[in-house]
Structure 1
Amino acid sequence: MAVIIFFVVRFFFGNDIAEKLQELAGDSEYTAPVRIYSATAEQILGDYLENEVAADGRYRGAIIDVSGMTKSVGRSVSGDMYVTIAGQTRLGIRSFQGFFPDSANSDLAAIRKGQRIVIRCRVDGMFINVIGRDCMIPMQ
């Protein structure tokens, strides 16, 4: 249909207008808004422990508001800041671990162990803990 319109406009109005319309049509790409999901750390960990492949298909790359009780706030060996949110697992050793940029320093300094929290992260899969990257504290 667009090809027919291009040739009709070109025939009646000339090449310049037809080319301009074609450029405008090519520039108008629709970008869907990013969907943000909500889940508890317990739910995400349970899904990963039940079937890591299925959980990756559901969560990996998604932006999720993860809620739960703060287990720890710290820095990794490489100096990256993180928050771990406890999940109820068999041995209690696995958590959701969200990594934050340095700009979140003041937000993380205000968090206390045992505090109920919500963090927004892009899920990056499981390596001992379920890992979240590019995390932030969403506005309440």
Structure 2
Amino acid sequence: MDTPTASAKKPLLKKWWVWVLIVLGIFIIIGSIGGSDSSSSGSQSAKEEVKVEPALTVTAFKMAAEYKENEVAADAKYKGKLVEISGSVDTIGKDVLDTPFIAFSTENQYEIINRIQCMFGKNDVEVLSSVSKGQKITLRGTVSGALGNIIVKDCEIIE
């Protein structure tokens, strides 16, 4: 009567905890190899110089006139580019998403489309509260194109 006894031992590789340790060890080795690669490429990219194009300088009247004359040509010139726009403040307000903006006066003061609308961050409300209608200012931002108005995003007052 040969019956297996409780004292019989399993071979080491048939124990589940050994396999868990082996798999965990493999993950640690792969992670350390992958981690060293990404850190070396990260330091290389940090050493590379980032070339920043200078901002295009334009008056609000000129930009509005260019968009009114030929929106396609104006988009090719300004869209996606950093611009510094100078002009007189026509409107200071918030849009439907509660985002603060400044709109510049254009050639025709009664024209409500084709204005230049410069969008600011919600934390810039305090800065905009010091601006008044008719004040001459210069703003810097990135043109995102015309959508009724000419939209300039991520604006900051520089003068």
Q: Which of the five TM-score ranges fits, normalised by the shorter chain? A: 0.7 to 0.9
The 1:90/1:82 distance shift into structure 2, 3 A limit, reads closer
Cα distance in 1 for partners of 2:71, 2:56 equals 19
Cα distance in 2 for partners of 1:115, 1:61 equals 27
The two structures, once aligned, show a CA RMSD in angstroms of 2.3
For residue 106 of structure 1, give the secondary structure of its aligned residue in structure 2.
helix
Q: Which has the larger radius of gyration?
A: 2
Give the equivalent residue in structure 2 for 1:134: 154
Number of residue pairs matched? 118
Give the equivalent residue in structure 2 for 1:19: none
Aligned 8 A contact 1:46 1:89 in 2: no
Give the equivalent residue in structure 2 for 1:77: 96
Structure 1 outlier segments of 4+, above 4 Å = none
Cα distance in 1 for partners of 2:58, 2:94 equals 24
The 1:134/1:56 distance shift into structure 2, 3 A limit, reads same
Cα distance in 2 for partners of 1:61, 1:89 equals 26
Give the equivalent residue in structure 2 for 1:17: none
Unaligned runs of 5+ in 2: 1-40
Q: Which deviates more, 32-41 or 129-138? A: 32-41
Cα distance in 2 for partners of 1:34, 1:88 equals 29
1:107 correspondence with 2:127: yes
Same amino acid, percent of matched pairs: 29
Q: Flag the structure with higher strand content.
A: 1
> What amino acid sits opposite 1:59 in the alignment?
Y
1:61 correspondence with 2:80: yes
